[in-house]
């Protein structure tokens, strides 16, 4: 019985410690402390672009995880990411980007939220990414919450401009193999099937075979 308990502890401990030590979970907790000060606050979380405006899989991975963590915070109502994307597409608005007060007001109206959480990703090398997050009031554009964290880069794709299907993002397709003409085709177009005749001219003997 004791041996079974020890084995279960060994299996569960890494999983538990990983969740507890997730920097994004700590970030969500720090943001939540400020956001709950706004009674009945409704929050929309956008994708996180890289600091140069480019995007990658990490842009949505970070926002998805923050959405999950913030949604478990009492007193905070988080709008589902899928609904945010749908509403933004209908209004022809981008899911990522730097927010000014005018854009914050427009997004707040479209999404029906009090605070918009956005931020940036900075590649630090060695598979480390710095995440900077800010909670922005949609009615005033004021920053009411902020947090910073460093996470492991778990995605493989390169950052690219939004909507740009660059060579790095496309799946490379092998070039089609060019079929060589068979013997009958070679004879038909005037190529000798064998021998020293030149291409495009009849074989020695002055007659097309």
pLDDT, tens only, 163-181? 775 544 443 344 555 555 5
Instruction: Tally Cβ neighbours within 10 Å of residue 118.
Output: 24
Q: pLDDT tens across 102-142, in order? A: 888 888 988 999 999 999 999 999 999 999 999 999 999 99
What residues form DSSP beta bridges with 55?
160
Kindly provide the residue ranges of all beta strands, DSSP E only, lying in the chain, ordered along the sequence: 41-45, 76-78, 115-125, 128-137, 143-152
Distance CA 35, CA 157 (A): 33
For residue 38, what are the contacts with CB-CB under 8 A and spacing of at least 6?
114, 115, 144
Tokens encoding 162:
């939004």
Domain positions in the chain are 24-152
Q: Please determine, for residue 146, whether its predicted confidence score (pLDDT) is greater than 70.
A: yes
Residue 137 half-sphere exposure toward CB, CA atoms < 13 A: 10
In the block, residue with structure tokens 């947090």? 147
Pick the CATH number of 24-152 from 3.10.400.10, 3.40.50.2300, 1.10.760.10, 3.40.50.10610: 3.40.50.10610
pLDDT on residue 159? 87
Cα-to-chain-centroid distance, residue 110:
23
What residues form DSSP beta bridges with 33?
none
Tokens encoding 157:
């794709």
């Amino acid at each position: 019985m004791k041996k079974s308990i020890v084995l279960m502890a060994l299996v569960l401990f890494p999983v538990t410690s990983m969740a507890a030590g997730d920097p994004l979970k700590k970030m969500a907790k720090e943001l939540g402390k400020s956001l709950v000060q706004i009674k009945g606050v409704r929050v929309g979380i956008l994708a996180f672009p890289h600091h140069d405006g480019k995007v990658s899989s990490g842009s949505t991975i970070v926002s998805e995880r923050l959405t999950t963590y913030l949604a478990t915070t009492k007193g905070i109502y988080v709008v589902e990411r899928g609904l945010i994307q749908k509403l933004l597409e209908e209004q022809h608005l981008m899911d990522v980007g730097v927010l000014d007060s005018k854009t914050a007001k427009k997004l707040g109206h479209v999404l029906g939220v009090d605070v918009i959480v956005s931020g940036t990703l900075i590649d630090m090398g060695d598979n480390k990414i710095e995440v900077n997050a800010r909670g922005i009031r949609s009615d005033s554009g004021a920053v009411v919450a902020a947090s910073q964290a460093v996470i492991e880069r778990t995605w493989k794709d390169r950052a690219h401009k939004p909507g740009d299907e660059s060579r790095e993002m496309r799946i490379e397709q092998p070039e089609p193999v060019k079929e060589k003409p068979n013997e009958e085709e070679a004879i038909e177009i005037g190529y000798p099937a064998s021998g020293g005749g030149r291409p495009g001219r009849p074989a020695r003997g002055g007659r097309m075979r």
